[in-house]
Amino acid sequence: MFFKKYRDKEEGVIRSFDMGSPGVKVAAAVIFIICVVMVIIAIFPSVWVFLASFKDIKEFRRNPTIFPSTFDIAKFIKTWNDLDFFQYYINSMISVTGSVICAIFFNGLMAYGLGILKPKGHKIVFAMVLWSLLIPATTSLVALFVNINRIGLNGSFVPLWLAMGANAFYVVLFKQFFEQLPKSLIEAATLDGCGNLQTFTRVVLPLSRPIMMVVAIFALNAAWSDFLLPFLLLANTPKETVMVRLFAFRTSNATDVEVLRAIAFSILPPIILFAVFQKQIMQNVVSAGIKG
């Protein structure tokens, strides 16, 4: 039963004809068990956050156990209200929504210019975009922060939104997709008298739903998780996002279990996103991973 399925094995070192040997069978079983352990190690910490959040502070400090004694959802609701998490969720949503729109529109537009219109000199621009993938991003953070301050955009969501509109990785994703679109459709739109911008919004984008989804998912997760720039621009303003608030707990008088519940609130949206869009995410992780 367990070993039967190895007959159809298509890749890797162990081939179907090896399964006759008992040693290989043991190896295959051991590998399977190790993989199960790996997944447990990968998932356990996040599960623990939710388990431990059900403890109250006395139980958390005194009882060296993994499981809480009771599962009482009211504790979560109380912390949610005490820490005013609704406000931070709203702020994060504003930041995320603008970021996703900018990520799709501006990077898509850039890719449309580079991949379809190709004006003279587009290769230089694309080379510069690719170069920015290799240059360490955090090293220009200080100068970027100074620039944003100079034009008076600190304390605003606008720089966070627009920053997502300059993402080399998303440009590359869009460009690869656009280059496979049927040229005739775009030419037809031009013949109908559509300007370039109209062609983009009315023809190219509607044809590009799959890749828009992918960029939207990645941008959503990136914007939700982003910490450093939001912290520098929004800390101590009424616009603090969930991550900025989370960092402040480090030095606040919130109890350990309250901080744990805050962590639980902050990881819940990515978990839901992952659960819903796992197919789209898993299809694109390879290209995403090389960038990150």
Partner 1 sequence: MRGKKSPWNQAVLKRNISGWLILLPGLILFSFFVWEPLLESVRLSLYTARGVQLQEFVGLQNYIDVFKHPDFAPAVINTFKYTFWSLVIGFLMPIGMAALITETVHLKGTFRLGVYFPNIMPGLAMVLMWGYFFTPGKTGVLNILLNLVGISPQVWLTNPNMTIPLIIVILTWKSAGATALIYMASMGNISPQLYEAAAIDGARLWSRFRHITIPGIMGTIKMLLILQIIAVFQILYEPLVLTNGGPNNASISIMQVVYRYAFQNFNYPMAAAVSVMICAVLVLLTVLYFRVTRETD
Q: Of 248-287, which residues contact partner 1 (CB under 8 A)? A: 249-250, 256, 259-260, 263, 266-267, 270-271, 273-274, 278, 281-282, 285-286
In this structure, the dihedral spanned by the alpha carbons of residues 237, 243, 247 and 253, taken in order and rounded to 10 degrees, is 80
Among 20, 22, 64, 238, binds partner 1 (CB under 8 A): 64
How far apart are alpha carbons 77 and 70 in whole angstroms?
15
Dihedral sign, Cα of residue 258, residue 228, residue 275, residue 33: negative
Say how many residues make up the chain. Answer: 292
How far apart are alpha carbons 224 and 218 in whole angstroms?
10
Amino acid occupying residue 281 = I
Max CA pair span of the chain:
75
**Which segment (75-83, 93-101, 105-113, 205-213) binds partner 1 by CB under 8 A?**
105-113
Least separation in angstroms between CB 141 and partner 1: 7
Least separation in angstroms between CB 137 and partner 1: 8
Note whether 209 binds partner 1 by CB under 8 A.
no
Note whether 150 binds partner 1 by CB under 8 A.
yes
Answer whether 214's CB lies under 8 Å from 173's CB: yes
- Concatenating the DSSP letter of every residue in 207-221 gives HTHHHHHHHHHHHHH
Residues between 212 and 251 that touch partner 1 (CB under 8 A):
221, 224-225, 227-228, 232, 243, 246-247, 249-250
* Residue with smaller CB distance to partner 1, 180 or 251: 251
Least separation in angstroms between CB 244 and partner 1: 9
Residues between 162 and 181 that touch partner 1 (CB under 8 A):
162-163, 165-166, 168, 171
Note whether 85 binds partner 1 by CB under 8 A.
no
Note whether 112 binds partner 1 by CB under 8 A.
yes
Directed axis angle between helix 256-276 and helix 74-82, to 10°? 100
